[in-house]
Amino acid sequence: MDMNYKPDQENLVEVNNLKMYFSVKTGWLSTTPLKAVDGVSFAIRPGETLGLVGESGCGKTTVGRALIRLYTPTDGDVFFDGKRVDAKSIGSLRKDMQMVFQDPYSSLNPRMTVEDIIGEPLDVHKMYTSKADRREQILYLMELVGLNAEHATRYAHEFSGGQRQRIGIARALATKPRFIVCDEAVSALDVSIQAQVINMFEDLQQKLGVAYLFIAHDLLVVHHISKRIAVMYLGKMVEMADADELNENPMHPYTVSLLSAVPYPDPKIAKSSKRIILKGDVPSPLHMPSGCPFRTRCQYATEQCAQEMPKLTDRGNGHMVACWNK
């Protein structure tokens, strides 16, 4: 933690050198730190969506959870609206920072009705004056996410995956947050339902002015909803740029490879695009390679890549890249 670090007042959320290490038992009496997130920095403006992409296990979800202190970060600074987010302040900031979880099947309590699930944040933060006011707020939230009033007395198991995710979104919106972490919020849904939920996220942003950290591994989905996109690999941020700029002009070899794997509905584009298949496997986060973590799979790797991790540097117009050779 850097007590001298001063956040930019124009940012709603600012993350500086965030680290999240877990101790993993590797022997009878020995433990090894698993570096799930290792020195990640980014900022989100009010009402903006930052997309965070990368393959499974790269640390995306851990970033989101550490940011709103579902995990206690090992090191680094998180600021919300200029205030440092720590163990003391999170109690008062919790209303403004919410999360929509990946799995709509396990994130809802099966013993609670929809009304009680959505109303729970209102109960915790005492955000109503009477039972009638509570019910009115719940019905408004249900209408906001496309659920009917008669759904209020039902239980979560009576709904489809898409409807359950809408219940989770209504619960996250109950405290009128200014920032929501969407952790793979559409990846467990059918493609047709994904489109509906993404459009709903965009409508809610326009109505309520809420900012999102949108975590996903589907670049087409992220490009559609995000203003800017950040790419992670093995706990490190390797590239960050405007969504269109990243899509049209990727610089880091890992981003180029990710984009080459995106399926396009146009057969002409699909035929002309060449898939870049990375050699080797993703290294274990317990035994990270020295220097740049991507170098073991990179065709441009040099001796310098093995010695030192490149810093995220601006290559023009806010296009940030961490690579020695690009």
Q: Would you give the DSSP letter of residue 151?
A: G
CA angle 168, 170, 171 (to 5 degrees): 65
pLDDT of 201? 93
Q: Is the pLDDT of residue 232 over 70?
A: yes
Q: Is a pLDDT exceeding 80 seen at residue 98?
A: yes
In angstroms, the CA 112 to CA 154 distance is 9
So what's the pLDDT on residue 189? 81
pLDDT band at 269 (very low <50, low <70, confident <90, very high): low
Where do the domains of the chain lie, and which CATH numbers do they carry? 13-96+177-321 (3.40.50.300), 109-176 (no CATH)
pLDDT digits (tens, 9 = 90+) for 105-158: 888 999 999 999 999 999 999 999 999 999 999 999 999 998 999 999 999 899
pLDDT of 2 strictly over 70: yes
As a whole number, the mean pLDDT across the chain is: 90
Enumerate the β-bridge partners of residue 40. 18
User: What is the predicted pLDDT for the residue at 179?
Assistant: 97
Q: How open is the CA angle 198-178-187, to the nearest 5 degrees? A: 25
Burial group, residue 66, by CB count within 10 angstroms (0-12, 13-18, 19+): buried
User: What is the value of pTM for the model shown?
Assistant: 0.91
Mean pLDDT of 14-34: 91
For residues 2 and 197, which has the higher predicted lDDT (pLDDT)?
A: 197
| Residues 215, 100: Cα–Cα separation, whole Å | 10
Checking if the pLDDT of 245 tops 70, the result is yes
Task: State mean pLDDT over 8-20.
Answer: 93
Q: Give the pairing type, strands 97-100 and 179-183.
A: parallel
Average confidence (pLDDT) over 65-91 = 94
Can you give the pLDDT at residue 270?
62
Q: Which pLDDT does position 271 carry in this prediction? A: 67
User: What is the average pLDDT across 211-239?
Assistant: 93
**What is the per-residue pLDDT for 76?**
94
Is residue 285 very low, low, confident or very high in pLDDT (cuts 50, 70, 90)?
confident
Whether 54 and 282 have beta carbons less than 8 Å apart is answered as no
